[in-house]
Chain A
Amino acid sequence: MPVGPFGLDPLVWAIIRLIVAVVLVVALILNSSLLLIYLERKTQAIMQDRIGPYHTGPFGLLQTFADALKLIAKEDVRAGQTDVAFFIAAPALVFTPMLASYVVLPFAPPLVGADINIGLLYLATLGSMGVLGIVIAGWASNNKYSLVGGLRSAGQLISYEVPGILSLVTAVLVVGSLSMVKITESQTGPITNIFIIPLAFATYLVSALAETNRTPFDLPEAESELVAGYLTEYSGMRWGTMLALTEYGNVVVVCSIMTTLWLGGWNGPGVAAVPILGVVWFTLKVYALILVFMWVRATLPRLRIDQLMSFCWKILIPVTLLNLAVTAVLLIAFPTTLLPVAIANWILLVAFVVLLPVLQQRRLRHLRARLRERTATASLAS
Chain B
Amino acid sequence: MTIHDLLAVLPEAIVTLVAIVVLVIDAGVGERRARPWLPWVTIVGLAIALASQSWAPAGGTFFGGFVVVDDFSRFFRLLFIVLAAFTVLVAPPYLRREEVSAGEFYATVLFSTIGAMTIALATDLITLFVGIELMSIPVYVLAGLQRRDRYANEASLKYFLLGAFSTAILLYGFAWLFGISGSTDLAKIAAAVRTAGLGSPAVVVALALVTTGLGFKAAVVPFHQWTPDAYEGAPTPSTAFMSVAPKAAAFAAILRVMATALGPIQLDWALVFAILAVITMTTGNIVALVQTNVKRMLAYSSIAHTGYILAAVAATAAGASAGAAVLFYVFAYGIMNLGAFACLELLDLEGTRGATLDELNGLWSRHAAGATAFTIFLVNLTGIPPTVGFLAKFLVFQPVIDAGFTWLAVAIALNAAAAAFYYLRVVVHMFMYDAEAAAPKVEPARVLSWSLGIASIATIVLGILPDPIYSFAVRAAGPILTK
Contact, chains A and B (beta carbon distance below 8 A): no
B interface residues with partner A (beta carbon < 8 Å): none
